[in-house]
Structure 1
């Protein structure tokens, strides 16, 4: 009887190995895939800046343009040119990509808070058939938007508890650094 074939790390069974001339990646790497830099991920991050003694949150791209513009106004001609070029490029890209509305949707909405909350996806009605337990739960995006509008103000633990309990999926919310309430 012959000796068993060695199988392990770097030595898969011969039946499952690629045949000679067969690639493990038949289509290969897509062209220009390595050139793409994750601009959206980096420049889309929110950062805190201080203007005239007040802090506010902006995207990294906006903070970068503000800094370039300030340097340009201070006399740095290269920064002034770079900021003007960036602004013109953004204007050109925005006007080229905008097609306009392709379809108008006319939807009758009942009046009242319930219709607004549901239609705009601000909140979802939980237990709608149970009159004893029925309540609105806020969607994560509106909670994040409301917390961002607080600025420097921080909620008390009691207020945090109330917001947590009124949020539909609190584990999906990007809570601020100062947030202290994470469940019951």
Structure 2
């Protein structure tokens, strides 16, 4: 038994054949063009682009990502607290990235004998910050 247009059941989710989208034509012709990339893809591509850099008098080719990290570390070493804070944040966030989950983590390297000293310094810092808040 062959199906003709008369046999096609029209109803909810089954529009008449004459009103269905034709093959090869989008229902949203002004939508996202094929091949367009999102912002994270564009950023990743730009950070991976190679550039020539002079390091210690030698010209080296490295990615922009490497150059940015190198500059940030150099700023932190020179004493920029903002650069140092940024590096600490990147390091902390990197430990939670999906790429790092497979690595095993080492136990704390703090010796139990120094726990009291660390806790005392922490309490003193909290007390001094709460006293500063009372003065204002």
**Greater helix fraction, Structure 1 or Structure 2:** 2
Specify which structure has the bigger relative contact order, considering alpha-carbon pairs within 8 angstroms and separated by 6 or more residues: 1
Q: If you compute each CA radius of gyration, which structure gives the higher value, 1 or 2?
A: 2
When normalised by structure 1's length, the TM-score is 0.33
When normalised by structure 2's length, the TM-score is 0.43
